[in-house]
């Protein structure tokens, strides 16, 4: 079997074209009062209006785009056949973790010691029964971290507003009909008590909601529990992602809406589900603390060689999307042979010679990844710094941050790359 062993990293990247749900870029939510009745109605209306209305979109065109962006390489529930085994990023990692991958024992041991990303990825199934269409559109255009315990996030793909509308229309095309519980007469105060009594905080963060009892991290989890915790979204965003009535139905019986979801069915009455939903959509939330990128470190004075940079940076992260097929045991990754909606760039970071050869631009010309921009920063370093800026909510439309969809490199790692380039890239 030919499979891509470590494609945890940058491949997490673009495979999530519409699933890893994150918040849009509209900024912090306005605080909603803890009340019931008219207060709940106002909060629901405010949350709905917070997500800007968008064109309805073309589901047929969205289906074509979901195929083009190869969402099925990581996500189930796309409406397409699963990706082939040698191109399914998540299945590859799950096989490694389970010992099913056919590789030498030493390689399996090394991979499992570093296998963090893409073991758990949300399914796109029943998106229309769970998520607001306009929210999906905004998320695709401006992805943001939603699941605190997942390393990978939804990557910035080459998607425009019209394409995002089409994809959102496709993902929400089969919204099912079912009774939807209104929130009239629900009690947010009781919902808060139920939230804690039923252990919702065991899996979910609810950032910005003051006074909730802290729950210790779950250790030594079974596979199902680990997946549930990893995929649990921060409930700060629930009021934007879901209609209040849909939130009630989801809390009451998630498996009835999305079969196979790791979200358990917690015993409760419809009235209790309404109370919990009322708490989630009306709890006062403190503003999010402004994020900032780490301080950039000056170049090192000591000698830095390619071998050190390769070991500490390229080999651990960059090669997953920028390598040759023989190295990756699959294709060369979206940063080399193309994929996930990206053109082939021919950038191979698996060898010194490959890095020196550079990448292919939109005109088909070879360009150096070491060429300096107007600010004097080498292109490769600029991409690494751009990822730090994205995590601080300052995405640059002209530069796609790397590693795509994964945590930014630390200041010391970027310092190492920049020092190596400044020293003439010694081997």
pLDDT on residue 19: 35
Q: What is the DSSP string of 287-317?
A: PPPPP-PPPPPPPPSS---HHHHIIIIITTT
Is the per-residue pLDDT at 408 higher than 80? Answer: yes
CA 134/CA 303 separation, integer angstroms = 51
Could you give the angle at the alpha carbon of 232 between the alpha carbons of 340 and 9, nearest 5°?
35
305, 314 contact by CB (below 8 A): no
Is the per-residue pLDDT at 242 higher than 70? Answer: yes
417, 384 contact by CB (below 8 A): yes
Is the per-residue pLDDT at 16 higher than 50? Answer: no
Most confident range, picked from 145-149, 194-198, 287-291: 194-198
CA 12/CA 410 separation, integer angstroms = 19
pLDDT on residue 149: 84
pLDDT on residue 331: 66
pLDDT on residue 1: 34
Least reliable range by pLDDT among 29-38, 181-190, 355-364, 365-374: 29-38
pLDDT on residue 326: 63
| Between 230 and 415, residue with greater pLDDT | 415
Is the per-residue pLDDT at 31 higher than 50? Answer: no
pLDDT on residue 213: 82
Most confident range, picked from 34-38, 70-74, 104-108, 373-377: 373-377
In this prediction, residues 203-223 reach a mean pLDDT of 78
pLDDT on residue 40: 59
Confidence of residue 241 (pLDDT cuts 50, 70, 90): very high
| Between 66 and 11, residue with greater pLDDT | 66
Nearest CA to 393 out of 156, 104, 52 is that of 156
Q: What secondary structure letter does DSSP report for 79?
A: S
pLDDT on residue 219: 59
Superfamily for 188-282? Cupredoxins -  blue copper proteins (2.60.40.420)
Least reliable range by pLDDT among 92-96, 320-324, 423-427: 92-96
Place of tokens 């998320």: 139
The domain locations on the chain are 9-29+52-171, 188-282, 306-422
pLDDT on residue 340: 83
pLDDT on residue 225: 79
Least reliable range by pLDDT among 58-67, 161-170, 259-268, 339-348: 339-348
- 283 φ, ψ to 5°? -55, 135
Is the per-residue pLDDT at 37 higher than 60? Answer: no
117, 151 contact by CB (below 8 A): yes
Least reliable range by pLDDT among 84-88, 123-127, 176-180, 290-294: 176-180
Secondary-structure breakdown of the chain: helix, strand, coil percentages, each rounded to the nearest 5 = 40, 0, 55
CA 28/CA 51 separation, integer angstroms = 12
pLDDT tens track for 148-177: 888 888 888 999 999 999 999 999 998 876
pLDDT on residue 102: 76
End-to-end alpha carbon distance in the chain: 34
CA 416/CA 421 separation, integer angstroms = 9
CA 141/CA 288 separation, integer angstroms = 20
| Between 93 and 134, residue with greater pLDDT | 134
Is the per-residue pLDDT at 279 higher than 50? Answer: yes
Is the per-residue pLDDT at 303 higher than 80? Answer: yes
Is the per-residue pLDDT at 223 higher than 80? Answer: no
Tell me the chain's radius of gyration from C-alpha atoms: 23
Is the per-residue pLDDT at 412 higher than 80? Answer: yes
pLDDT on residue 45: 54
Confidence of residue 274 (pLDDT cuts 50, 70, 90): very high
- Average pLDDT of the chain is 82
Residues of the chain above pLDDT 90, percent: 52
CA 337/CA 323 separation, integer angstroms = 9
pLDDT on residue 114: 63
């Amino acid at each position: 079997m030919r499979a891509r062993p470590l494609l945890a990293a940058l491949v997490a990247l673009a495979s999530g074209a519409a699933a890893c749900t994150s918040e849009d870029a509209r900024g912090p939510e306005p605080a909603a009062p803890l009340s019931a009745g008219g207060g709940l109605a106002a909060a629901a209306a405010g949350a709905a209006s917070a997500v800007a209305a968008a064109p309805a979109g073309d589901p047929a065109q969205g289906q074509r785009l979901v195929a083009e962006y190869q969402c099925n390489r990581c996500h189930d529930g796309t409406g397409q056949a699963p990706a082939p085994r040698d191109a399914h990023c998540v299945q590859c990692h799950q096989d490694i973790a389970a010992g099913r991958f056919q590789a030498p024992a030493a390689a399996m041991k090394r991979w499992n010691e570093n296998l963090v990303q893409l073991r758990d990825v949300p399914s796109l199934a029943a998106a229309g029964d769970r998520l607001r269409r306009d929210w999906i559109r905004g998320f695709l255009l401006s992805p943001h971290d939603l699941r605190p315990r997942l390393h990978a996030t939804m990557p910035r793909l080459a998607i425009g507003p019209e394409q995002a509308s089409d994809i959102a229309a496709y993902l929400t095309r089969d919204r099912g009909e079912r009774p939807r519980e209104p929130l009239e007469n629900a009690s947010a105060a009781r919902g808060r008590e139920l939230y804690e009594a039923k252990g919702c905080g065991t899996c979910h963060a609810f950032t910005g909601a003051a006074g909730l009892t802290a729950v210790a991290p779950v250790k030594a989890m079974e596979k199902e529990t680990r997946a549930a915790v990893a995929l649990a979204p921060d409930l700060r965003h629930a009021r934007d992602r879901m209609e209040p009535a849909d939130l009630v139905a989801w809390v009451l019986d998630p498996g009835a809406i999305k079969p196979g979801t790791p979200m358990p069915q917690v015993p409760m009455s419809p009235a209790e589900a309404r109370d919990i939903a009322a708490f989630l959509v009306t709890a006062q939330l403190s503003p999010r603390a402004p994020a900032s990128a780490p301080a950039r470190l000056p170049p090192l004075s000591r000698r830095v060689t390619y071998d050190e940079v390769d070991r500490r940076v390229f080999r651990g992260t960059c090669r997953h999307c920028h390598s040759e097929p023989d190295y990756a045991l699959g294709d060369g990754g979206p940063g080399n042979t193309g994929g996930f909606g990206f053109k082939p760039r021919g950038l191979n970071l698996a060898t010194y010679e490959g890095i020196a050869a550079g990448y292919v631009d939109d005109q088909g010309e070879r360009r150096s990844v070491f060429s300096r921009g107007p600010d004097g920063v080498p292109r490769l370093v600029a991409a690494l710094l751009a990822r730090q800026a994205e995590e601080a909510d300052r995405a640059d439309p002209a530069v796609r941050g790397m590693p795509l969809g994964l945590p930014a490199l630390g200041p010391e790692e970027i310092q190492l790359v920049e020092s190596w380039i400044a020293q003439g890239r010694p081997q």
